[in-house]
A = this chain, B = another copy of it.
C-alpha cells in the first residue's frame, strides 16, 4: 500500500468496463499491507507518470472530454511539453435567457469558464498568460503539484503579479497524476474568481483498457453571477451575498440551447468543478450517480442521489444509461435552479442545470430553451 503523508493510502480502480460484468473486473480490490508491499502506482506527486492501469480489454486512447458551451484546448506539443496560451480579458457573455441575457464577465480566450485544457500524464505543461484585464492578475493551478515558482499566488509565491498588458509563462512543469483539475486567478480572488477567471484542466492517461472508456465524458464547471443589469459587469459575491444566476459552463439551463444526447447502455462520466462561492448539491434524476473520483484522486465507488461539492472541489461521477427519457442534472438548492427566483417554461427548473436526453426519447420541448414562454408564477405576482 502506498504511503503518503505518513499514512498508508488505499488505491482504487477508476472504472471497470461493461456494467454488470462483474468477474472480469481486475484490479478492483484495495491493495492491503496483508498482500505485502504494494505495486500500486504512486499517485502522490506530479513528478512521475501515474494513472490507473485497470479495466479489461485492449488498450485504447481515452475519450477526450467535452465541455458543453466551452472550447477545448489541446495546446501545442513540442517534445514532451504541451503549451497553452490563455488571454485574460473582459467581455460580454450570453449567460441566461431571462430575465436578462448577457453579463460582462472576466475570462480566458473570450469564455468563462476558460477553455478546458487537456494534457496527458507524463507530459509537462506550459501556460502562457496574456493579461488584457484592467488590473494585474496571476494564474494558479488547483490540485496539481507545481513548483512554488509556478504557484501563482500574488504577493507570496509570485511577489509581482502580471501587470495589465503583460505576459507570464508558467512552467513547463510535469503533470503526473490523472484527474480533473483547474486553473484560476490568484490575484484578489474574491473579485477575479467571482468574475469568471477560472477553467478546467484535465490530465488524461495516454491509454486505458477499453472497458473504462466512457461513451460520453463531459466537464461541468459551476459558477454563479450577479450582473446588476442587462450586460452589466458582474458583482463579486461579497458585495451582494447573492448569486441570482447559477450556471454550468457559463450558462443557465435555459441558455444551454440543447440537451446532452446519450444512448442506452452508455457509460456517462461527469467531471464537476465547483468554481463558485457556494456549496452545491448536484443531483441526477432517474439514475444513481456513482462517485468515482474526488479532487483528483480515485475514491471507493459510492452510489449517491446527490453529490455535494464545496468551492474548489472536483468530483467525478458516472452513470450507466439504463432508464430512457429526458433527465435533469441540477443543483438541489431550490433557488439555484431559478434565474433571479424565476422558473422557465411551465415552471421548469433553469439555473444550474443540464438535461441528458436519450436518443430514443421525445425531444425536450424547444420552448424550454427560449424565454418566450416564461410567465411569472401566480403566487409571485
Contact = CB atoms under 8 A, between A and B. Distances in A.
A308 to B, nearest CB: 4
A3 B25 contact: yes
A78 interface: no
Interface residues of A, number: 145
Given A135-B377, A310-B332, A22 B37 contact: yes
Contacts of A236: 334-335, 341
Nearest to A29: B32
B302 A306 contact: no
B238 A338 contact: yes
Interface of A: 1-10, 13-23, 25-26, 28-29, 32-34, 36-38, 42-45, 133-136, 138, 140, 142-143, 145-149, 151, 153-157, 159-161, 164, 181, 186-191, 193-194, 211-212, 214, 236-239, 241-242, 244, 267-268, 277-281, 283, 285-290, 292, 294-297, 299-306, 308, 310-314, 318-320, 322-328, 332-335, 337-338, 340-341, 343-349, 355, 361, 364-365, 367-368, 377-380
Contact of A23 (B37, B334, B337): B37
A157 B267 CA distance: 22
The 10 tightest CB contacts between A and B, nearest first, are A148-B325, A155-B348, A312-B332, A295-B305, A238-B335, A190-B338, A281-B310, A187-B347, A155-B346, A135-B378
Give the interface centre of A37, A149, A157, A313 by most chain B CB atoms within 10 Å. Answer: A157
Contacts of A326: 148, 156-157
Given A310-B308, A312-B305, A320-B6, A155 B345 contact: yes
Contact of A347 (B8, B154, B311): B154
Contact of A281 (B239, B312, B367): B312
